[in-house]
Chain A
Amino acid sequence: MSPTQWDLPVELCCRPMAFVTLTGLDVVYNAVHRAVWDAFCANRRADRVPISFKVLPGDHEYPKCRPKRTSYEWYIPKGILKTGWMNKHLNLVPALVVVFYELDWDEPQWKEKQSECATRVEIVRQSLQGRNTKVAVVLIQKKTPLPPGEDVIASERAAALCNACELSGKSLFVLPHTDHLVGYIIRLENAFYEHAQTYYYTEIRRVKSHKEFLNKTTHQLLFVRHQFKIAFFSELKQDTQNALKNYRTAYNLVHELRAHETNILEIKTMAGFINYKICRLCFQHNTPLDAIAQFRKHIDLCKKKIGSAELSFEHAAWMSKQFQAFGDLFDEAIKLGLTAIQTQNPGFYYQQAAYYAQERKQLAKSLCNHEASIMYPNPDPLETQTGVLDFYGQRSWRQGILSFDLSDPEKEKVGVLAIQLKERNVAHSEIIITLLSNAVAQFKKYKCPRMKSHLMVQMGEEYYYAKDYTKALKLLDYVMCDYRSEGWWTLLTSILTTALKCSYLMAQLKDYITYSLELLGRASTLKDDQKSRIEKNLINVLMNESPDPEPDCDIFAVKTAQKLWADRISLAGSNIFTIGVQDFVPFVQCKAKFHAPSFHVDVPVEFDIYLKADCPHPIRFSKLCVSFNNQEYNQFCVIEEASKANEVLENPTQGKMCLVPGKTRKLLFKFVAKTEDVGKKIEITSVDLALGNETGRCVVLNWQGGGGDAASSQEALQAARSFKRRPKLPDNEVHWDSIIIQASTMIISRVPNISVHLRHEPPALTNEMYCLVVTVQSHEKTQIRDVKLTAGLKPGQDANLTQKTHVTLHGTELCDESYPALLTDIPVGDLHPGEQLEKMLYVRCGTVGSRMFLVYVSYLINITAEEKEIVCKCHKDETVTIETVFPFDVAVKFVSTKFEHLERVYADIPFLLMTDLLSASPWALTVVSSELQLAPSMTTVDQLESQVDNVVLQTGESASECFCLRCPSLGNVEGGVATGHYIISWKRTSAMENIPVIRTVITLPHVIVENIPLHVNADLPSFGRVRESLPVKYHLQNKTDFVQDVEISVEPSDAFMFSGLKQIRLRILPGTEQEMLYNFYPLMAGYQQLPSLNINLLRFPNFTNQLLRRFIPTSIFVKPQGRLMDDTSIAAA
């Protein structure tokens, strides 16, 4: 875009740099000069000093300096700032002029050269007459200079040259043309920079010196001008702090100026300039908050300074520019490292700029609506002699006039008219769209998706005004879904309305239909009259006619559109539009619902399609078809009405193809599922509803799945939450909200009509062949074929159970590991109606615990459903949980021959093994036999015969056996000595003859065998009698390999008198036996303690009497004397 009146001047926006001109360089023909120039200007990096260089011929004419004013008394300024001033000091008036001259110190023709150089300097000085511009001379030399002080000729000649040129020594430089050119150049330009700084310093002083001559009444403008100049020179001097300070003062001064309609533009222009400079410097100083505060202040001060009402669009344009410029500055600062935030980013400024641009457009539209006959004034009042204005912000037809009165109202009128006519040609929309798209880019960056959408809507609308409907539609379509998904229906409706206009004006059929569908829908907040107008248009379009134009459209655009629509009619071609409704909210709602979550294969699958229209008038549809995941069913679910195009309107309220607004229409479909689909899901993949027909235009609304559109899921949620009681409706009507979409159903097999019974006697006993009797009876009306039985452990249980459970059909043999846990598909044959069959199964459970058993019977049957013959596979299963328990508990104990409990047995001494078999089974058990298998270390004392053969045990009964055993001495065995196994052969008493006997092996416990040094046993009668002699013989056996010293004593007892050795000490040889004979004479009757025998082994102090008592009896029963004797004693008494 070419710069407009409102764009800020380039010289204002650039960074001011010291201006230095280089003369005497022939950069075109002289290679050395070219190299020097390149070194100055090529690849200037940021670390080089800020100077702008320019090569000029030595005799260049610089702008003339106006003669110094001696007094300001009669001087009246004509404006604030001249338009040329900034450019003059940036690009025309140098701070320093450098004269390049080729001269070596040993130049033979020194005199001539010296005077030529002096002449050149003089020429430059001439053209700078009156300015403070510095002059410097650079001698380009071929030779490398000697270190300072060594070259005597050089210092002499340098002094002479300075003298000739009237230069100070500081302004004469030598540039040896050697390898290190760039290094020399950098040193040179640093020196130039210092000179330039001095120059600008003096300029600032010069401007400041004017101040004292000014007075507040007539020189108000000059205050601003001088302040601005000081600030600008400070910037050139790179003193940004002072520049900022001075700009701030200047800004305050601008607002102190007396404002009037005639100069308000000038004031605003200058205020804008200075504000721009302040904000720019603030950002440069990294104080963005200061910049924002200044800008806010600026806007607040200037917002109301509209100026002439006829040109109020100028104010809007200016405001827009202010915001845009600030946005640009902000954005630039961000690029240089500033961080912006969501609520404070350049986007807001661009947005506001766009807002003012829109306002400008509005104002221009109302102020510049001149008739076409009004011609642009001639001569052009906006034309000036020079082509530019003298002062910023003044009117071209009254430049420099400070009076607030309009001297020439006619001229003023013409001028205003010219501006207004010019404004008419401005491409406002283009400006607005550019600003909006800038803002969009920013808001995208700062996570403001909704703001972005809003701006895009505005852009779309602006494109609409600019008649670029394609772009408008593209933008609007893009953001529509954001508003739809968040449920802001008012906003969506407004966007849709614009979009509908665009699509109408372009005669975009599909878009037009889509937007119409949604504007008629429940998400639209349009009034009913609008809706019915749209519906009428839609019906027209479907009947291949042109719709009526949308309201508030441009008349010319409508004319074009009408032509386009007419063309569309004549075009024969594809007139079917399929529109997926998932992403919007159309005016027809659809819900599909299977009657049940599953259907048996022998009954027809039924489902309803519910349709509801939200448009104001009834509408007729031409076709409805439902698609399934198995496409074979599609053919059964189509409703079609062969109607002519014009029937869309006729008889609208009748027939099932007609949708009455607000009423729910239910359509029932049914079909028979295929037997292959048993166990599968039937899913509705889409529902297609056609409006209109193929002879005209046809729209197919396509619902994915069982219906529902962009808004329906939220509605369903709300409806589910609601407690509201719905009013009662007639029987055949339903509440739309209460319909829940059910888009899929399962096809399951036919219900079996057979009975399966299981007969058995739980619990099962471990390892037995447990009998399970399966009875299958058919209750079907016809014969059933191919009956198969699957039975056994139900899969999916503990893996260990599978290995410990075995199933067989043959109970006569024990099954082993090779038998499976589940028998599958045992063919059973066919069954006639009412027939019954029985099958026996034997299960062997190796471990206790509960198991689930499955009995599954399947069969085939022929069925007629909906006049179709189908073969159904039916099955029935039964599961049963069977507990397995131990049949009996076996307890084993070791006792001494005295039946005393033994913790250990003694080598070579007989002991008893007692087994105790306690039945735990609830059913009677028959112990067929038992067997004791002794370990080799054990010997038996007598015969090992089973004592429990063919014993029947009821629950809780037990069977015991007793075996007398002896264990020879084995020495010390760790953990005891193995005893052997006890084997029980048993079966259920109730079991049949041919059922095998189960052998249960029980490992007997180990026993600890201990050696004893001395074994004592006693021979005594089983009872005594009072006053009758009782002979007792003790046998003492030495079990060791040593001779044993034994001390024996018998303690007296009150109940006995006795004869024999009372105390004795004797020796027993190894392996031999000693007998001790006593004669006890009982004195009292009853159970009496025998006189206790104490034995003390001198070698074995551990051998105690305690141990001894295990082997010998300690008491005896003494009977009283015979009755005869009693009688005599009584007689004696």
Chain B
Amino acid sequence: MAVCIAVIAKENYPLYIRSTPTENELKFHYMVHTSLDVVDEKISAMGKALVDQRELYLGLLYPTEDYKVYGYVTNSKVKFVMVVDSSNTALRDNEIRSMFRKLHNSYTDVMCNPFYNPGDRIQSSPGGPYFLCPIQSRWALLPVSDPVQVGPTPVSDPVQVSPTPCVRSSPGPLITW
């Protein structure tokens, strides 16, 4: 699975960023931040043409010695960046794509939450909006208090791993009339 996942706002500030080796968090932050150069360039290259048919998946942004950085941009210019260990050969383009799609779905869920204010940093804490994050070996709702477990076995096909169902208990107070 990915070693780092980031959701970046349209204005390029991080909405959510999380990495598995927590001790070297800063490195991943820098990595994600620098990858925005390529994302920006790719977005501007896409231009305004064919907005409907635009491919959201941006592919490999740039390779470093140890990691591969992939990008994805939604129609509202929210960017997803995923850092994958270079040695992890099990993850091919298709897997990455489907991981992004799932990330996009969970992001959409967050946006659908009436208690989430678009543009706020996403906090996957209990009580707050949950956020589905593929950083663990399983797709799971990630409350921030949980220590992140580095999954020892790479999941061969993430599509088959059904995500924990998104049945959320109402995170805020219920509005009664």
- Contacts A355-B65, A490-B25, A723-B114: A449 and B30 contacting too (C-beta < 8 A)? no
Contact of A490 among B11, B26, B36 (CB under 8 A): B26
Which residues of the partner chain A approach B61 to less than 8 Å between Cβ atoms?
343
Q: With A and B bound together, what is the CA distance between A488 and B11 in angstroms?
A: 11
Binary flags per residue of A40-77, CB closer than 8 Å to B gives 1, else 0: 00000000000000000000000000000000000000
Q: When the two chains form their complex, are residues A723 and B26 in contact, meaning their CB atoms are under 8 A apart?
A: no
Q: When the two chains form their complex, are residues B29 and A490 in contact, meaning their CB atoms are under 8 A apart?
A: yes
> A467-487: which have CB < 8 Å to B?
483, 486-487
Q: With A and B bound together, what is the CA distance between A348 and B41 in angstroms?
A: 17
Which residues of the partner chain B approach A488 to less than 8 Å between Cβ atoms?
13-14, 29, 33
- Contacts A342-B41, A450-B34, A486-B13: A352 and B117 contacting too (C-beta < 8 A)? no
> B1-36: which have CB < 8 Å to A?
11-14, 17, 25-26, 29-30, 33-34, 36
Which residues of the partner chain B approach A483 to less than 8 Å between Cβ atoms?
33
B151 in the interface (beta carbon within 8 A): no
> A709-736: which have CB < 8 Å to B?
714, 717-718, 721-724
Could you give 8 example pairs across A and B, Cβ below 8 Å? A342-B37, A355-B65, A447-B41, A451-B37, A454-B30, A494-B26, A718-B119, A723-B117
Q: When the two chains form their complex, are residues A717 and B119 in contact, meaning their CB atoms are under 8 A apart?
A: yes
Q: When the two chains form their complex, are residues A343 and B62 in contact, meaning their CB atoms are under 8 A apart?
A: yes
Q: Which residues of A contact B (CB under 8 A)?
A: 299, 342-343, 348, 352, 355, 447-451, 454, 457, 483, 486-488, 490-491, 494, 714, 717-718, 721-724
B120 in the interface (beta carbon within 8 A): yes
Apart from A342-B38, A488-B13, 17 more pairs, CB < 8 Å: A342-B41, A448-B37, A450-B37, A451-B37, A454-B30, A454-B34, A486-B33, A487-B12, A487-B13, A487-B14, A491-B26, A491-B30, A717-B119, A721-B118, A721-B119, A722-B117, A724-B115
Q: Size range of the interface on B? A: 20 to 34
Which residues of the partner chain A approach B62 to less than 8 Å between Cβ atoms?
343, 348
Contact of A487 among B11, B114, B115, B118 (CB under 8 A): B11
Contact of B29 among A299, A355, A491, A723 (CB under 8 A): A491
Q: With A and B bound together, what is the CA distance between A1 and B177 in angstroms?
A: 79
Rounded to whole Å, the gap between the CB of B37 and the closest CB of chain A is 4
Q: When the two chains form their complex, are residues B117 and A724 in contact, meaning their CB atoms are under 8 A apart?
A: yes
6 residue pairs, one from A and one from B, having the closest CB atoms: A487-B13, A448-B37, A722-B117, A451-B34, A343-B62, A450-B34
Contact of A718 among B17, B65, B114, B117 (CB under 8 A): B117
Q: With A and B bound together, what is the CA distance between A968 and B77 in angstroms?
A: 90
Which residues of the partner chain A approach B11 to less than 8 Å between Cβ atoms?
486-487, 714
Binary flags per residue of B43-84, CB closer than 8 Å to A gives 1, else 0: 000000000000000000110110000000000000000000
Which residues of the partner chain B approach A714 to less than 8 Å between Cβ atoms?
11, 13
Among residues of A, the one whose C-beta sits closest to the C-beta of B37 is: A448
Binary flags per residue of B108-127, CB closer than 8 Å to A gives 1, else 0: 00000011011110000000
Which residues of the partner chain A approach B65 to less than 8 Å between Cβ atoms?
299, 352, 355
Which residues of the partner chain A approach B14 to less than 8 Å between Cβ atoms?
487-488
Q: With A and B bound together, what is the CA distance between A983 and B171 in angstroms?
A: 87
Q: With A and B bound together, what is the CA distance between A486 and B11 in angstroms?
A: 7
Which residues of the partner chain A approach B114 to less than 8 Å between Cβ atoms?
723
Which residues of the partner chain A approach B120 to less than 8 Å between Cβ atoms?
718, 722
Rounded to whole Å, the gap between the CB of B167 and the closest CB of chain A is 23
Which residues of the partner chain A approach B115 to less than 8 Å between Cβ atoms?
723-724
- Contacts A355-B65, A490-B25: A450 and B117 contacting too (C-beta < 8 A)? no
Rounded to whole Å, the gap between the CB of A315 and the closest CB of chain B is 14
Rounded to whole Å, the gap between the CB of B59 and the closest CB of chain A is 10
Among residues of A, the one whose C-beta sits closest to the C-beta of B32 is: A488
Q: With A and B bound together, what is the CA distance between A494 and B28 in angstroms?
A: 13
Among residues of A, the one whose C-beta sits closest to the C-beta of B120 is: A718
Q: With A and B bound together, what is the CA distance between A723 and B38 in angstroms?
A: 34
Which residues of the partner chain B approach A343 to less than 8 Å between Cβ atoms?
38, 61-62
Rounded to whole Å, the gap between the CB of B146 and the closest CB of chain A is 20
Q: When the two chains form their complex, are residues A486 and B12 in contact, meaning their CB atoms are under 8 A apart?
A: yes
Among residues of A, the one whose C-beta sits closest to the C-beta of B61 is: A343
Q: With A and B bound together, what is the CA distance between A299 and B41 in angstroms?
A: 28
Which residues of the partner chain A approach B119 to less than 8 Å between Cβ atoms?
717-718, 721
Among residues of B, the one whose C-beta sits closest to the C-beta of A458 is: B30
Rounded to whole Å, the gap between the CB of A449 and the closest CB of chain B is 6
Which residues of the partner chain A approach B38 to less than 8 Å between Cβ atoms?
342-343, 448
Which residues of the partner chain B approach A490 to less than 8 Å between Cβ atoms?
17, 25-26, 29
Which residues of the partner chain A approach B118 to less than 8 Å between Cβ atoms?
721
Among residues of B, the one whose C-beta sits closest to the C-beta of A344 is: B62
Q: With A and B bound together, what is the CA distance between A454 and B28 in angstroms?
A: 12
Q: With A and B bound together, what is the CA distance between A490 and B17 in angstroms?
A: 11
Q: With A and B bound together, what is the CA distance between A448 and B31 in angstroms?
A: 13
- Contacts A451-B34, A491-B30: A721 and B117 contacting too (C-beta < 8 A)? yes
Among residues of B, the one whose C-beta sits closest to the C-beta of A323 is: B65
Among residues of A, the one whose C-beta sits closest to the C-beta of B114 is: A723
Q: With A and B bound together, what is the CA distance between A342 and B119 in angstroms?
A: 29
Which residues of the partner chain A approach B30 to less than 8 Å between Cβ atoms?
454, 457, 491
Among residues of A, the one whose C-beta sits closest to the C-beta of B172 is: A724
Q: With A and B bound together, what is the CA distance between A451 and B32 in angstroms?
A: 10
Q: With A and B bound together, what is the CA distance between A450 and B61 in angstroms?
A: 14
Q: With A and B bound together, what is the CA distance between A724 and B65 in angstroms?
A: 45
Q: With A and B bound together, what is the CA distance between A494 and B34 in angstroms?
A: 16
Which residues of the partner chain B approach A448 to less than 8 Å between Cβ atoms?
34, 37-38
Most chain-A CB neighbours within 10 Å: which of B17, B65, B117?
A: B65
Rounded to whole Å, the gap between the CB of B41 and the closest CB of chain A is 5
Which residues of the partner chain B approach A355 to less than 8 Å between Cβ atoms?
65
Q: When the two chains form their complex, are residues A449 and B26 in contact, meaning their CB atoms are under 8 A apart?
A: no
Which residues of the partner chain A approach B17 to less than 8 Å between Cβ atoms?
490
Among residues of A, the one whose C-beta sits closest to the C-beta of B26 is: A494
Among residues of A, the one whose C-beta sits closest to the C-beta of B31 is: A454
Q: With A and B bound together, what is the CA distance between A343 and B68 in angstroms?
A: 12
Which residues of the partner chain B approach A486 to less than 8 Å between Cβ atoms?
11-13, 33
Q: With A and B bound together, what is the CA distance between A450 and B33 in angstroms?
A: 7
Rounded to whole Å, the gap between the CB of A79 and the closest CB of chain B is 31
Among residues of A, the one whose C-beta sits closest to the C-beta of B175 is: A725
Rounded to whole Å, the gap between the CB of B83 and the closest CB of chain A is 14
Rounded to whole Å, the gap between the CB of B115 and the closest CB of chain A is 7
Which residues of the partner chain B approach A491 to less than 8 Å between Cβ atoms?
26, 29-30, 33
Which residues of the partner chain A approach B37 to less than 8 Å between Cβ atoms?
342, 447-451
Rounded to whole Å, the gap between the CB of A228 and the closest CB of chain B is 28
Rounded to whole Å, the gap between the CB of A453 and the closest CB of chain B is 8
Q: With A and B bound together, what is the CA distance between A387 and B154 in angstroms?
A: 54
Which residues of the partner chain B approach A494 to less than 8 Å between Cβ atoms?
26
Among residues of B, the one whose C-beta sits closest to the C-beta of A303 is: B65
